Copies of this chain bind each other. A is one copy, B any other.
Amino acid sequence: MTSSHRTRRPVDLQEAVAILERTPAALDAMLRGLPDGWIQAHEGGETWSPFDVIGHLIHGEQTDWLARVRIILEHGEARPFDKFDRLAQFADSPARSLDALLEEFAALRRANLRDLAALQLGPADLARTGTHPAFGRVTLGQLLATWVAHDLDHVVQISRVIARQYSDEVGPWRAYLRVISGQQG
């Protein structure tokens, strides 16, 4: 096995879905029942709390990922994707409970993955193209890879927001904790 075999993978529908189908349960296990101080924590200014992130993931399931897959399949490059509202969760979810948001995210993701499976995409479909409103031409494979990486980006964000609440409390160990020091590998 070469090194590059373990540092880069080509997009594969089954491997991508394996990540996507696990994200709701992983976030549920991390967050359900946590004290409110963790759920509402953020990194200052307009940064997001774990609560805000789950609202954002819900909005993505409702309006972004699978909708864009369908636009590519139905319209190719002729119809650009709708823009995604990255702040929609602040209008949609302020009065809801975290438990309700976690359940909604899980239900929407399940339904979207069922619909994705029903499209019976084959490897050749991953090369089909659409038009991103800012980037121009993108492929269905890039969209799927981004759906996966976007999930993980927000798992990182939630973990970082919580860990950084202890930025001072860890004392000298700060030097060993990349999540707090911000040092990149």
Contact = CB atoms under 8 A, between A and B. Distances in A.
A138 to B, nearest CB: 6
State the majority secondary structure of interface residues on A: helix
A116 interface: no
A3 to B, nearest CB: 6
A11 B141 CA distance: 44
A77 interface: no
A10 to B, nearest CB: 7
Contacts of A146: 166, 170-171, 173, 176-177
Nearest to A166: B145
A17 B38 CA distance: 12
A43 to B, nearest CB: 6
A67 to B, nearest CB: 16
Interface string A23-40: 001101111011101101
A30 B23 CA distance: 7
Contacts of A15: 35, 37-38
Contacts of A167: 8
A45 B9 CA distance: 16
Interface stretch (A54-62, A90-98, A148-156): A148-156
B160 A156 contact: yes
Contacts of A26: 26, 29-30
Interface in A127-180: 132, 135-136, 138-139, 141-142, 145-146, 148-150, 152-153, 155-157, 159-160, 162-173, 176-180
A39 B6 CA distance: 10
A5 to B, nearest CB: 8
A184 interface: yes
Given A22-B30, A34-B18, A38-B18, A7 B165 contact: yes
